[in-house]
Amino acid sequence: MDAISRDRSAIGAAQDLEPIRRPTREEAMEAVRTLIAWSGDDPRREGVLDTPKRVVDAYAEWFEGYNADPAKELSRTFEDVQGYDDIVMLRDIEVESHCEHHMAPFLGKAYVAYMPTNRVVGISKIARVVEIFARRLQTQETMTQQIADAITDSLRPAGVAVLIDAAHQCMTTRGVHHRHVSTITTQFTGVFKTDASLRQRFLDFVNRR
């Protein structure tokens, strides 16, 4: 079987899978009790008796992005831009996310810009889009791409630039245990990809203090 046939077979198998049933709150709490016991502790101990409830509540907050739609956030746009035709950029957007490999937090900042054509969106909506994708399981690389794609699909700008700078606790608290290391990912589309001077302006804004 060649590579294309294998890919098609894998896609077909994935499509045949039944949708995952979302567990109940009690089932989720029981899973936490199992992890506590697997770790070597007693889930009946007073100090951790309410831990399953707290963990499930925390997960509901950390992963609330699955219940939100980035396109809806970007759906209300404004066409009266009074001839404005330059960069719109948000700096230092807080990023609080969890990697899909270890479910460990990664924390940092996002910098997002777009070059409007004939419409803009409320600036808080850009920050909200970052928050939605951050509150899901994924890699930093995927999240960077998703943010750029969402803005491109909804606003149809001349270009989008996204930079995320984050520290991953799966690297600092386990494995190699390297602290003070951050990961930078970028995504450039349209004029930010084709115009080096515009891309450099974006990076200069990122580094401006």
Q: Which residue type sits at 9? A: S
Three-state DSSP state, 81: coil
The active-site residue, picked from 102, 131, 178, 200, is 102
138 is catalytic: no
Distance CA(167)–CA(106), nearest Å, equals 5
The active-site residue, picked from 73, 131, 168, 187, is 168
180 is catalytic: no
Which helix (H) or strand (E) covers residue 208, if one does?
none
The active-site residue, picked from 96, 145, 169, 170, is 170
The active-site residue, picked from 94, 101, 141, 200, is 101
What number of other Cβ atoms are within 10 A of residue 184's Cβ? Answer: 12
The active-site residue, picked from 100, 141, 180, 187, is 100
98 is catalytic: no
Distance CA(110)–CA(169), nearest Å, equals 17
Q: Please say whether the beta carbons of 161 and 88 come within 8 A.
A: no
140 is catalytic: yes
131 is catalytic: no
Distance CA(37)–CA(49), nearest Å, equals 12
The active-site residue, picked from 73, 98, 99, 138, is 99
The active-site residue, picked from 73, 131, 138, 140, is 140
The set of catalytic residues is: 99-102, 140, 168, 170
